[in-house]
Amino acid sequence: MTDLSVEVCGLRLRNPTMLASGVLDETGKSMLAVAKAGAGAIVTKSIGRDPRVGHPNPTVVELDHGLLNAMGLPNPGIELYAEEINEAKKSGIPIIGSVFGGTEEEIADLAMLMERSGADAVELNLSCPHAKGYGAELGSTPERVESICRLTRGKTKVPILAKLTPNTSSIADLARAAERGGAHCIVAINTLKGMAIDPESRQPILGNKFGGLSGPAIKPVGVRCVYEIYEAVQIPIIGVGGIASGKDAIEYMMAGASAVQIGTAVWTEGTGIFGKVCKEMSKFMKENGYATPRELVGVAHPARR
């Protein structure tokens, strides 16, 4: 088997696949199961300061080529979640703590608490499209992205991953701002804001009306975002959005991603997806003469060819 190990902003991964925030990562036990299935790292559910129940049902609509979700960031709050991190750490793979907050200070403080809970890195959720006062509402302007990253940098020592929204006219501008603020890595993309209406009842299906679209339908958007970000910043990028095969992961890496995250495919296919993606990546690399995953990064850009 090809050596798939990679290093991304100081984190050593046995392979470039990571669990994306929000699927099977609410408990230490489920994260251990994902690690056992072969993921290279795990991103936790986004955690806030206080416990939060999330949006009313229905919170997920299954579509032909993806999912529309408006979970509303349900979570037990940072204090209780520390136990889950502890448990997940037994896996021995990097655990990246995702945080969200309502103000710049709150996000930076939560990142600090996440670090104290034992997380090996923090991912700032600057991009959830369906929780009022959080996520993309704070992460949509370069000024705020920069200042959130700068404040967080001042309060933490572990690597900072800035997870950006595609619901913007220029994700490259947001990425440049995150880099200026001191982020060590960009994660792209979070879900695309969308909605579904039931014609019979003439009503929006999701309890929250609006949600975030994920899965195969958004892969071309994610690949385009990673490609644009790669040309805009020097820090590494982690690609996410619609990855369900080795070739999907390779597409993201050729666009400029050093590693990838998988969310919806874990929901639809189970934890076996990590082994499957890695096996398919190895096969492609062997057949096409790539010795390490690093050799794939950015090769779709004219300057790298």
Ligand X SMILES: Cc1cc2nc3c(=O)[nH]c(=O)nc-3n(C[C@H](O)[C@H](O)[C@H](O)COP(=O)(O)O)c2cc1C
* Interface characters, 25-64, with ligand X (x: CB under 6 A): --------------------xx------------------
Coil, strand or helix at 149: helix
Query: Between helices 219-232 and 246-255, what is the axis angle to 10°?
Result: 30
Which lies closer to ligand X via its Cβ, residue 154 or residue 220?
220
Residue with tokens 């595609």: 166
Supply the DSSP string of 131-156, one letter for each residue. STTSTHHHHSSHHHHHHHHHHHHHH-
138 binds ligand X (CB under 6 A): no
**Catalytic center residues:** 128
Tokens of 251: 């597409």
Task: Answer whether 219's CB lies under 8 Å from 248's CB.
Answer: yes
β-pairing, 210-214 with 203-204? unpaired
191 binds ligand X (CB under 6 A): yes
Stretch (H or E) spanning 80: helix 78-89
Which lies closer to ligand X via its Cβ, residue 241 or residue 293?
241
163 binds ligand X (CB under 6 A): yes
**How remote is the C-alpha of 2 from its chain's centroid?**
25
Which lies closer to ligand X via its Cβ, residue 18 or residue 235?
18
22 binds ligand X (CB under 6 A): yes
d(CA 50, CA 37) in angstroms, rounded, equals: 31
User: What is residue 148's DSSP assignment?
Assistant: H
125 binds ligand X (CB under 6 A): yes
Smallest gap from Cβ 240 to ligand X, in A, equals: 5
Smallest gap from Cβ 217 to ligand X, in A, equals: 8
Neighbours of 198 (CB within 10 A): 10
Q: Which of 15, 17, 30, 69 binds ligand X (CB under 6 A)?
A: 69
Give the residues across from 188 on adjacent strands.
239
Smallest gap from Cβ 246 to ligand X, in A, equals: 14
Smallest gap from Cβ 55 to ligand X, in A, equals: 11
Smallest gap from Cβ 19 to ligand X, in A, equals: 9
- Binding interface with ligand X (CB under 6 A): 20-23, 45-46, 67, 69, 71, 73, 98, 125, 128, 163, 190-191, 214-215, 218, 240-243, 262-265
